[in-house]
Amino acid sequence: MKQYLLVGILFFAISCKNDDSKDPVIPLPDAPKNMSYSIITSYPHDTSSYTQGLIIYKGEMYEGTGLEEKSKLMKVDLKTGKALQSIKLRNEFFGEGVTILNDTVYQLTWQNKVVFVYTLKDFKKIKEFKIDTDGWGLTTDGKNLIVSTGGSDLFYYDPATFKLLKTQTVTESGNPSFNLNELEYIDGYIYANQYLLPYI
């Protein structure tokens, strides 16, 4: 009986050891590398504007602002900070991110779940789309519209129909990021500021 018990214990010990050796060791991803920057110049800005979206397009600056009863879409003179062209959203809308694709302006709303589409030349509203999430940041890769909603995911939409095409999760050191806010697409990279944090 002792021989059988000893053989059983040895078999169990060997089996456990073999199982442990099969588990692959997966290294954690490296932490994001710090990027340097330098301030080249600064421009005046209307501090009453609660900026939610900002874009330079064909040398002109466009800005979307937030807050109920105060949300606007504007074309702004970069040197003076004064609005050259402006339209106000209806009082119930809280404007968010803006981007321009093919001379068409897209503007998100925060919790209203509506996307406004305008002509670039005169800010004439030509479409409205429904969206299933909050709207935070908005950019384009030249083909798709890319939306952030305050979490760790980026959502890619068809600009013609606003149909969701895919979702991409952003991670830092292997963990989901958070508070992804305003977006910019530059040279194949998406830059996002993290709301309430001093990070891009």
User: pLDDT digit string (tens) for 82-140?
Assistant: 999 999 999 999 999 999 999 999 999 999 999 999 999 999 999 999 999 999 999 99
Q: Is the CATH number of domain 48-194 3.40.190.10?
A: no
Give the tens place of pLDDT for each residue, 63-73: 999 999 999 99
Q: How many residues does the chain have?
A: 200
Is residue 18 packed enough to be buried (19+ CB in 10 Å), middle (13-18) or exposed (0-12)?
exposed
**Where do the domains of the chain lie?**
48-194
- One-character DSSP codes across 123-160: --EEEEEE-SS----EEE-SSSEEEE-SSSEEEEE-TT
